[in-house]
Structure 1
Amino acid sequence: MAQDLSEKELLRMEVEQLKREVTTPRAPISKTGKEIKDYVEAQAGSDPLLRGVPEDSNPFKEKGGCRLS
């Protein structure tokens, strides 16, 4: 699609995108980093990647094995 547009139209689209981005509310990383850390620590108890999945409720557990005779 971008190939069908002239350079002027592409620049106009870029300016419009930048105008939208400049109105996006921003927060300092010192604040958001702490919020993310607190959230991750609060959710750690229920995170299956940290705790593991119980064998009886694991949908990806192999049902049977392969035997060579």
Structure 2
Amino acid sequence: MPAVINMDELTDVDKAKMSNHYFVRQTSKCCTEFMEAVQAGVEEDTLVKGIAEDKNPFKELKGGCVVC
């Protein structure tokens, strides 16, 4: 059974260390989940694999502007 910590008895430095440790664990977990989500959808993600040249609506057209 883990020891019970009385927060009132901790110094500000100890509290900051505990807060930092918690933040690092949560950030690591979040990053892992984010990477798993990106890797799961990599085949459909145009930001990862790009857009086919023939389907790119923003490609530069050859030629100039014609005013009628």
| Larger helix proportion of the pair | 1
> TM-score band (shorter)?
0.3 to 0.5
TM-score when scaled to structure 1? 0.44
